[in-house]
Amino acid sequence: MKFIKVNMNKKTIGVEDVPEKYKGLGGRGLTSIMINQEVPPTCDPLGPDNKLIFAPGLLSGTPLPNTSRISIGAKSPLTGTIKESNSGGTVSAALGRLGITAIIIEGQAPEGDLSILVIDKAGNASLIPAQDYKGMRTYQFVEKMLEIYGKKTSVLSIGPAGESRLTAASIQSSDMDGHPCHAAARGGLGAVMGAKGLKALVVDQGGKSADAIADPKAFKEAGKIFTKAVKEHPEPGQLMPTLGTAALVAPLNSMGAFPCYNARKGVMDGWEQISGEAMAELIKERGGKTTHMGCAQCIIHCSNEFVDKEGNYVTGSLEYETIWAMGGMAAIADLDTIARLDFLCDDIGVDTMSTGVAVAVAMDAGYKEFGDGAGAIEMVKEIGTGTEFGKILGNGPVAVGKYFNHSRVPAVKGQAIAGYDPRAMRGNGVTFATSPMGADHTAGNLIGLCLQGKLDPMQAEGVVEISRDLQIAMAAFDCTGQCFMATVAAFDPEPGEAFRKVLSAKLGTELGPDDFPGAMGIRVLKAEREFNRKAGFTNQDDRLPKFFYEEPLPPHNTVFVISDEELDSVFDF
């Protein structure tokens, strides 16, 4: 259990034991609680007072499968709120195996200075000059890092967007094959990393100094039960390795809740051409991979490798939210174009969701026609080449809306919504409005309940309570490093109990249902809300854009109807 503290002004690296007040925390819990305590809430997110924190989950580096998600936290330059963005890949497990609880990047390098933080298999950290890699895109950069440090190396890196401090910039995470196709994409944390003068974090995967598991026998027994439940669950066990999250395209369109044409409609013309089923068929025909192990210790394999007509790699881990943002919002009914856009975003280092929605806002304002795939590619390329328009696009949909004086911007607290329209799925509207992160589907997604027939997507009554409970649960699970696909199995009582026992055995503390997810999730959300309040956010910021309340969404022609008072009661604890 140790912190690695890096001061970018002085180029110094300190290693210290985890202070008492942060013990037992990991992932989002650690980043959010530390930011709330140590980062001045009104600071410039791109200035020296902000801190960028990399924290593996509490279970990362243990033998439990599907636990390689890393939380990255800072004050967000996109939203102005506290931010935790997490990513899969290999780095979280690598840091966990080194017994590193967090890496904290402080201060700011002199203007123009760029470094790489390298951690070897003994856990020693060093800052290496990165001037030679300035402006380099992520795919080429990771290739170079693997040449130098070996194939068993994990890389978190930024592309030109992050170096230029664009506020939709991502931090890309390398997968099992060394492709930087996973991302801590939301909230512009790539810009914070760029502002610090840090190009990348490079970690050897061969660490053998993981923190001890307090009760290894109990851990093994409960872990076995939970892993079996993950394998046998129809979602992580069967659906995810078949289609991945792209399986959502069909139900969302069939429900009329797929925001498309910049959220003017709930069903996209030609959506079957970009469905998960269509993608799997196309990949199979071309000899790509419909299922693929993207993250360390993954037994689900929801990832994929999209290839072109000649069978050449185009992009990896093409997921629902990207297909929705690029395909739905910009109305591009062509998987080859969507895959190309996904690759460009990963390579330049921008959030595919923010970028897709930003493109859609520009199209809605008349800059290009909806469905203009070639136009969308040219627009996204401009982010990489750094044109004036590219910079605006790379700052996300709100910046684009301002540029065109266009008010139809589907974002909350500056962050684009995800692929669930709040007018046809009202519960997700509650989460989008109230999450301390800005609009965020991972903060508490009600789609599972809707598709299980437990909740009418149009239902307004009771969804505040459901969103609250899910936001608490997700805040807690985000502390563990476990992938959401596996967490789905923990929603059932017996595996849920087994998971709690795994966590108890790791920490050496008996956790009851009130402790996890309950108390842990509430503690995290309270810290995040407190930071946001001190940064100047009020209940008035917990609102959806006006058009969701006024403009009916076809085909159901409904609007968002949850009152302000109800939204204000979400965090009534």
Partner 1 sequence: MRITAKLYGTLSQQFPEYRHSEGIEVEIPDGATVNDLLALLEISESKGAVVAMEGRILKGDDTIRHGVPVQIFNAIHGG
Residues that bind partner 1 (CB under 8 A): 234-235, 238-239, 242-248, 250-251, 254-256, 266-267, 272, 275-277, 319-321, 419, 441-442, 445, 447-448, 450-453, 456-457, 484, 488, 491, 555-556
Spell out the residues 6+ positions from residue 344 whose beta carbon is closer than 8 angstroms to its own: 377, 380, 381, 384
Q: Which is nearer to partner 1, 249 or 392 (CB)?
A: 249
Closest distance between partner 1 and the C-beta of residue 572, in Å?
A: 25
With beta carbons less than 8 A apart as the criterion, state whether 145 and 202 touch.
yes
Q: Which is nearer to partner 1, 130 or 437 (CB)?
A: 437
Q: Which is nearer to partner 1, 372 or 440 (CB)?
A: 440
Closest distance between partner 1 and the C-beta of residue 452, in Å?
A: 5
Closest distance between partner 1 and the C-beta of residue 489, in Å?
A: 10
- Whole-angstrom Cα distance, residue 142 to residue 123? 20
Closest distance between partner 1 and the C-beta of residue 543, in Å?
A: 23
- Whole-angstrom Cα distance, residue 380 to residue 359? 8
Q: Which is nearer to partner 1, 363 or 412 (CB)?
A: 412
- Whole-angstrom Cα distance, residue 389 to residue 457? 38
Closest distance between partner 1 and the C-beta of residue 71, in Å?
A: 18
Residue 343: both structure tokens together: 């690759």
Q: Which is nearer to partner 1, 314 or 447 (CB)?
A: 447
User: What DSSP letter does each residue of 367-424 carry, written as one string?
Assistant: SS-TT-HHHHHHHHHHHHHT-HHHHHHTT-HHHHHHHHT-----EETTEE--SS-TTT
With beta carbons less than 8 A apart as the criterion, state whether 354 and 397 touch.
yes
Q: Which is nearer to partner 1, 70 or 425 (CB)?
A: 425
Q: Which is nearer to partner 1, 39 or 229 (CB)?
A: 229
Closest distance between partner 1 and the C-beta of residue 183, in Å?
A: 14
Residue 205: both structure tokens together: 């995967």
User: What DSSP letter does each residue of 327-371 carry, written as one string?
Assistant: IIITT---HHHHHHHHHHHHHHTB-HHHHHHHHHHHHHTTSS-TT
Task: List phi, psi (to 5°) of 481.
Answer: 85, 0
Q: How many CA atoms lie within 13 A of 45 on its CB side?
A: 23
- Whole-angstrom Cα distance, residue 171 to residue 162? 8
- Whole-angstrom Cα distance, residue 571 to residue 563? 15
Q: Which is nearer to partner 1, 160 or 419 (CB)?
A: 419
Closest distance between partner 1 and the C-beta of residue 290, in Å?
A: 12
Closest distance between partner 1 and the C-beta of residue 247, in Å?
A: 5
